[in-house]
Structure 1
């Protein structure tokens, strides 16, 4: 895929997993300026980006997406460094407890929503406010003031398996899909493109570790028609597509990338 992306990317949860590989995919398509945000170090991501192209510039920002002031400041820092934000990827998230409603504690439920839902909303609000101040990168009708991709989940489109009763996670990701649709409608006429990606089971370090702890994830993998997990690169490439002008007529979509899990 070649989308010839130019501009500035802002990626939360960029220190590992999908956020990390979203950065790599955007870099391979031409992005050379990155704000990488995570609660943990992004050292590995920065190193790999430099191997893709030594002229890549990176602003590293430690960020808890559930903190309003910190989110607003991170956007301010990014714009001060690079002048604008063209591609935002709101990817930071947590899994929470694998429990049903009668088992889960209030604190645990609220913590998952604070990061996965409120955190996405806080980031998206700050990004929209900035994007409304900047012009499109070109006069093409396929160009936007900015593009936002929110990481939801296939469990933002259906209920969780009986084997994986992740009530809080499922609730939070359904909310991300709703937020994406609401804001996509509101801001498409104003030149901002907003979509969500809904990955299925992905071979992240966390998932691979859980597969070594018992049969649950192996049983879930067996339900995937492709009979394998997605690679992080595959999800990153889909995020790059949603960020690009190749997806210019996609507004408020929930792009499911699950190996066929949800169509059974």
Structure 2
């Protein structure tokens, strides 16, 4: 059976959570060259070890320390990726932070800037470097199914709706709305040049942090609003990202895909 995916992939926030499971999913569907990026380089070894356990020497892995909020760090990581793999076919901009969940009147400007620098500025810096590279290369597969490259920006369902007044997150919500706007604009701008850009908008997902909050009752009322009545699995988000970077979604660009158990459909 032919593999669904091919080429070289670049994933930010790959040391844990959705980024880690995205690396596993991409490799499972045929990607054999993976640049794994995280601001904490030590956590990348867990992802790398699991990939080698599953795929052995068949997979080529490049671990990169990268701060998405720093232009030089982003450009250096992209340059190292191209030096190693010669091209970039799939990019998943997943790195992000939650910040302090407060309403605007009670928020601190430093926290606002920190969230924006990672969640929005960081995605823009990564996407700019990725687009610049993709514009230089020829497609691995011919159009219309193929193109110069595919980018997925991991936003949030809070990039589509407001956060609850009971769990206000003004900076996080604004940053994720910004990611959706960036995705739509660049998705349209570069569509004719063979680059597809879409946004993944996960709902409440069973990351270690959220499971802990649920156990303590902090988020229990919010999760009860999910029509499917549960947290999403990280594998479910990763599988949806596979769809967005695959030829199966070749007529999608500038789009948002909500994978949230029905939360934003209410």
Q: Equivalent residue of 1:147, what SS? A: strand
Q: Equivalent residue of 1:150, what SS? A: strand
**How far apart are the structure 2 equivalents of 1:178 and 1:140?**
26
**How far apart are the structure 2 equivalents of 1:5 and 1:43?**
23
The answer to whether the aligner puts 1:86 opposite 2:89 as a matched pair is yes
Residue pairs, 1:49-198, within 5 angstroms = 49-54=51-56, 55-198=58-201
TM-superposed CA distance for 1:3, in Å, is 5.7
Alignment correspondent of 1:36: 36
**How far apart are the structure 1 equivalents of 2:246 and 2:53?**
22
**How far apart are the structure 2 equivalents of 1:3 and 1:235?**
20
**How far apart are the structure 2 equivalents of 1:159 and 1:71?**
30
Deviates more, 1:218-227 or 1:94-103: 218-227
CA deviations on 1:40-82 (whole Å, 9 max, x unpaired) are: 1201111111122111110000011000011011100000000
**How far apart are the structure 2 equivalents of 1:202 and 1:138?**
33
TM-score normalised according to structure 1 size? 0.97
Q: Equivalent residue of 1:47, what SS? A: helix
Alignment correspondent of 2:49: 47
Gaps of at least 5 residues in structure 1 are none
**How large is the Cα RMSD of the aligned pairs?**
1.0
Gaps of at least 5 residues in structure 2 are none
TM-superposed CA distance for 1:220, in Å, is 1.2
The answer to whether the aligner puts 1:206 opposite 2:196 as a matched pair is no
TM-superposed CA distance for 1:104, in Å, is 0.5
Asked if the contact 1:3/1:246 (under 8 Å) is kept, the reply is no
Q: Equivalent residue of 1:96, what SS? A: coil
CA deviations on 1:143-189 (whole Å, 9 max, x unpaired) are: 01000000000000010012210100000000000000000011010
TM-superposed CA distance for 1:219, in Å, is 1.0
Choose the corresponding residue for 1:226, options 225, 228, 243: 228
Alignment correspondent of 2:15: 15
TM-score normalised according to structure 2 size? 0.97
**How far apart are the structure 1 equivalents of 2:223 and 2:183?**
28
**How far apart are the structure 1 equivalents of 2:143 and 2:252?**
16
Moved over 2 A (4+): none
